[in-house]
Every structure is written in C-alpha cells, then in structure tokens.
Amino acid sequence: MATIRVSPMAEGDIPGSVAAIQAAFAEDPYTHWMFDMSKYNAQRNAASLGVRCRWGMRNGLFHVAKEQGSDEVLGVAMWLKPQPANQPATWYDWFEDWRLWFNQLGMNLYYGRGGLNVKRYYIWKQAQETAHSSVWTDPRGYYFLNIMVVSPKAQGKGIGRAMMKYVTDRADLEGMPCYLESSRDVPNMEIYGRFGFRFAKELLCDDDGTAIKLYTMVRDPDGPSTT
C-alpha cells in the first residue's frame, strides 16, 4: 500500500467522506437501532452527514486519510475539541450551534426523517449525557473521537492508526486526555486499546426493552502505543 496521508477535511472531501461513513456503518448495531431500515433514506443521511462535516470543518478536528497521489477518501475521523467544564459558550459557539440547528431543520423539512427514530435519538442523547457526567472527570475536557471509519476495503492496513496518531500526538503534547464511544465491543475495544484507550463505562440505550450498548473509552496523555 502507498504512503497514507492524513489531512484536514476540505469541501471536496465531503462526498467521499460520506460514502466511507455510510459503507463502514451499513451493518453497525447503532445504525440499525436508530433507524427504521425499511424507511431509511441514504440521500437524507448523506445530506445530514454533509451538514455535520461542514460544521466540523469550522469547529472540530475533522480529517481524512488518502493514499499519496490519490484523491479517494479511505478514512475519516471526526474529533471534537476539548470543552472545559464550566466555561461559558462564546458568541461564536452560540452562532455555530444555531447555524447547525437551522441547517438540520432545513434538511428535515426537505427530506423528512428518513427512517430516523426520534424517540431513540433522545434516548441516546440522554444516555450519553449520563455517561459523560460520570466518565468526564478532567475539568479541562477531552479530545472526543465522535466517529472514525476506514472504508471496508482498506481496513486493517494501518489507516486507523495513522488517523489516530494525528490527534493523539497533539493531545500528548498538550497533556490532554481523549475519549471515544464505540458501537461495538469486538473488535473495536481491542483496536482502540492498541492506541492507549481503556474501557470506561457501558452506555445503555434502552427503548422499552429494545436496547443497544455503546462502549466509552478514555485515553490518558502519553498512552502507551500510538507511536
């Protein structure tokens, strides 16, 4: 395999990033719990991810992996920057939150919900908040890996490691912890363990007995193995 290059996501990377995310999550337990797959609308999902990518390019640390000399997106990582506890939101954050909200509203009006189970969306949000309140003990906040995917055809070749190192090196330099939520225990907990993450807490999303579990993991600065 040619050398892998990791770079900040650009507008032209959005279609390839969306395709990589949709392919990697096609069989994911979270997707199948959150969406009624008989009503799933891939176009609506792509528009929603596009809105999220544009928000992340301005506010997060969203990056892509490609082979040297190729424009094909093989991997995507979406990180959120640390949010210190008790730090009030700035006017810019406030504006960006509303901008995201209006863009999502416009998309929902145009496409409808596309199979998204809104009740479950709020169950997930609540479970996430509960987990954060017990796992996020560092008041400086965490680099939060929201999504990381490698196209199925390119998995297991070191692309995930290259993307991970891009942010964990920065976190180590700053002495900051990292955090993630994975929708699979096997094999992801082992994979993330190799990057220095340790299991923190299960995040149970229970819709009247139809439940899924997510797995939260934390990485201390200078974790053992992203070099």
DSSP letter, residue 2: P
Beta-strand pair 197-207/210-219: antiparallel
For residue 73, the minimal CB distance to ligand COA (Å) is: 12
Helix, coil or strand: residue 194: coil
Given a contact cutoff of 8 angstroms between Cβ atoms, the answer to whether 14 and 76 are in contact is no
Segment lying near ligand COA (by CB under 6 A), choices 129-137, 142-150, 167-175, 202-210: 142-150
Shortest distance in whole angstroms from residue 14 CB to ligand COA: 18
Comparing CA positions, the residue from 211, 185, 204, 34 lying closest to residue 128 is: 204
Closest to 166 measured CA to CA, from 43, 23, 65, 21: 65
- Closest CB to ligand COA among 4 and 176? 4
Binding mask 94-133 for ligand COA (x = CB under 6 A): ----------------------------------------
Contact in structure between 75 and 150 (CB atoms under 8 Å) = yes
In the bound complex, which residue of the shown chain has the CB atom lying closest to ligand COA?
160
Question: Is residue 83 near ligand COA by the rule CB under 6 A?
Answer: no
Per-residue interface string for the shown chain with ligand COA, residues 150-189, x marking contact by CB under 6 A: x----xxxxxxx--------------------xxx--xx-
Angle separating helix axes 91-111 and 42-59, nearest 10 degrees: 170
Candidates 190, 208, 209, 227; binder of ligand COA (CB under 6 A) is 190
Q: What angle is formed at CA 83 by the lines to CA 77 and CA 87, rounded to 5 degrees?
A: 165
Closest contact distance (angstroms) between CB of 55 and ligand COA is 17
Closer by beta carbon to ligand COA, 25 or else 101: 25
Say which residue the tokens 């003990």 belong to: 137
Q: Both tokens of residue 216?
A: 């939260």
Q: What are phi and psi of 170, to 5 degrees?
A: -65, -45
Looking only at residues 22 through 41 of this chain, which bind ligand COA when binding is defined by CB under 6 A? 24
Minimum CB–partner distance for residue 192 and ligand COA (Å): 8
CB of 223 to ligand COA, least distance (A): 12
Side-chain-side CA neighbours of residue 197 (13 Å): 28
Closer residue to ligand COA (CB): 111 or 121 = 121
Which of 55, 215 has the CB closer to ligand COA? 215
Rounded CA separation 189/186 (Å): 6
List interacting residues with ligand COA (CB under 6 A).
24, 147-150, 155-161, 182-184, 187-188, 190-191, 194
